[in-house]
Amino acid sequence: MQPLIEVRDLHFSYDDGTVALDGVDFQLFPAETVAVFGANGSGKTTFVLHLNGLLMGKGSVRVCGMPVERETLTSIRQKVGLVFQDSDNQLFMPTVLEDVAFGPLNLGLAAGEARARALEALEQVGAFDLGGRAPYHLSAGEKKRVAIAGILAMRPEILVLDEPTTFLDPPGQASLLDLLDRLPQAKILVTHDADCARAIAHRGVFFEAGRITGEGTVDEVIARFRWDKATLKPPISDRY
């Protein structure tokens, strides 16, 4: 089986000299969900921003067989949908329906086709009745579903979700995880939440100092690195 995402020897440093990625190798396969663990500053977010070309470092990143480079960005960004931790960073149009249709319109679809895609995506996430609402009037859980709908309207093959259960109460978390588990796309789940990862991920990887230092089943990774949900950080002995 060919991987949907294949990353080899990826390096990236910020302008101030901070090394964020130091030789990352990674693969994602069709229908797979991979949980990405690691402390703040370990390189997780920098890594996922390379998967649709928001950042570009040294090394090889291929998505659906295409190299991630300037000439392929339009195609790559239709393949990889990035759902941010804070839904307010993705919702900006006057109504939910306009927000979800924004991406398809930017692809050049006719207004009717973009609206149809938006309605289909809202139905898929259980938010069909929210189409006429203003995004800023929604609950955190509703905003997250609408943000996901906006990505689904682009019909991606891969979803990258950054801390998707943040700001949600326990029932909202359970409802969202049930939705994500039903979606057919391959997924990368950046999370501090062990229970969230256990619920939907097939495999886990652990970032430390810009490298993947462990991988296996979610339970194997949690046990190896003694990942502590209560503090949302690894134990002190593992931080230095």
Which CATH number does the domain housing residue 10 bear? 3.40.50.300
In a domain, 141, yes or no: no
For 48, the token pair is 């996922």
The answer to whether residue 70 is domain-embedded is yes
In total, how many domains does the chain have? 1
Q: Look at residue 228 in the predicted model and tell me its pLDDT.
A: 53
pTM comes to 0.88
The reported pLDDT for the residue numbered 227 is 63
Q: Which pLDDT score, from 0 to 100, does residue 11 have? A: 98
In tens digits, the chain (240 residues) has pLDDT values of 799 999 999 999 999 999 999 999 999 999 999 999 999 899 999 999 999 999 999 999 999 999 999 999 999 999 999 999 888 888 999 999 999 999 999 889 999 999 999 999 999 999 999 999 999 999 999 999 999 999 999 999 999 999 998 888 899 999 999 999 999 999 999 998 888 999 999 999 999 999 999 999 999 999 888 765 533 444 433 332
- In a domain, residue 79? The reply is yes
161 is a domain residue: yes
Quote the pLDDT of residue 166. 86
Beta-strand pair 203-208/186-190: unpaired
* Residue 131 lies inside a defined structural domain of this protein: no
What residue numbers bound the domain in which 55 lies? 5-92+156-238
pLDDT of 88? 87
Does a structural domain hold residue 137? no
Note whether residue 127 is domain-resident: no
**Closest residue by Cα to residue 162 from 52, 79, 11:** 52
Q: In what order do the strands lie in the sheet with 211-216?
A: 80-83, 158-162, 186-190, 33-38, 203-208, 211-216
Residue 146 maps to a domain: no
Integer CA distances (angstroms), 214 to 10, 149, 207, in order: 16, 32, 8
Rounded Cα distance, 128 and 122, in Å: 5
